[in-house]
Amino acid sequence: MANLPLSGRGRTDWLDDGVLTPYVDAFKQYLADRGYARNSFANCVGSIAHFAQWIRRRGVDIQRIDESVLSEFLDGHLPCCRCTGAVQRPRPSLSAALGHLLVVLRAQGVIAPPVVSKTPVDEELRCYGDYMGRVRGLAPATQALALGIVRQLLIWRFGDYAIDIAVIKAEHVRCFFTQQAKRYSKPASAGTVVAALRGYCRYRASLGDAVHGLIGALSRRTSR
């Protein structure tokens, strides 16, 4: 479906009349309870306002909102977004805010719990997510952003097959980074991809995998 402009509304007006409206206060309280600064708070609210504009246009029922719908929004809509108003467009901010939105909606009993998949990629991400929280102490939003990027790399390289880190070469990482960087309008945002991939490589190194060449390839990306 083409991304045609909609009627002119303010950034947060889309939260005043839509399927997300009853849960906006709970979302704001969730952010407040976690001590979000004023700017970060506003960016998160603006992010779900952008999402609210898109789901209203697509006629998405709130019960259908899940990780696949978020992926459709981020991967399908965002690169060619023509939504009206001062909407949030940086992918990292949108991804983090929408991850929080899923937590809130599930806590409210509005949407179903995530489906537990047992593909090799999902098993790998569960282990890596546990490592990020238990060993590195990363915040849930940071984990979610990194896991989303690593998931794309692993699915791109292995699909539903078993993961063998040894077959990932430096040229694969460079090619993947180039593909991902096209989705970001700012170099700092593309740097998020590098940070996520380097973090994953360090995790695999802690398991004994020889990934120094991959880390070196990523280091060269940041120096350009």
Query: Which domain, by its residues, includes 188?
Result: 120-222
Question: pLDDT digits over 64-122, tens only?
Answer: 999 889 989 988 998 899 887 778 888 888 988 998 999 999 999 999 987 766 789 98
pTM of the model: 0.57
Say yes or no: 29 and 100 in one domain: yes
Question: pLDDT digits over 159-168, tens only?
Answer: 989 999 999 9
Say yes or no: 149 and 209 in one domain: yes
Q: What is the pLDDT of residue 92?
A: 83
Decide if 181 is inside a domain: yes
Q: What is the pLDDT of residue 7?
A: 41
Say yes or no: 22 and 79 in one domain: yes
Q: Where are the alpha helices (DSSP H) in the chain?
A: 24-33, 38-58, 67-71, 91-107, 120-134, 140-158, 170-181, 187-206, 212-222
The C-alpha atoms of residue 208 and residue 200 are separated, in whole angstroms, by 13
> Does residue 4 register a pLDDT over 60?
no
Question: pLDDT digits over 166-213, tens only?
Answer: 999 999 998 988 887 776 656 556 788 888 999 999 999 999 999 888
Question: pLDDT digits over 26-68, tens only?
Answer: 999 999 998 888 998 999 999 999 999 999 999 999 999 998 8
Q: What is the pLDDT of residue 87?
A: 84
Q: Which two tokens stand for residue 219?
A: 């280091």
Q: What is the pLDDT of residue 140?
A: 76
From 107, 128, 145, give the residue that closes a domain. 107
Decide if 4 is inside a domain: no
Say yes or no: 145 and 101 in one domain: no
The C-alpha atoms of residue 28 and residue 91 are separated, in whole angstroms, by 20
Output DSSP code: residue 110.
S
Question: pLDDT digits over 107-137, tens only?
Answer: 999 999 877 667 899 899 989 988 988 888 8
44 CB neighbour count, 10 Å cutoff: 24
Q: Where are the alpha helices (DSSP H) in 84-169?
A: 91-107, 120-134, 140-158
From 107, 138, 168, give the residue that closes a domain. 107
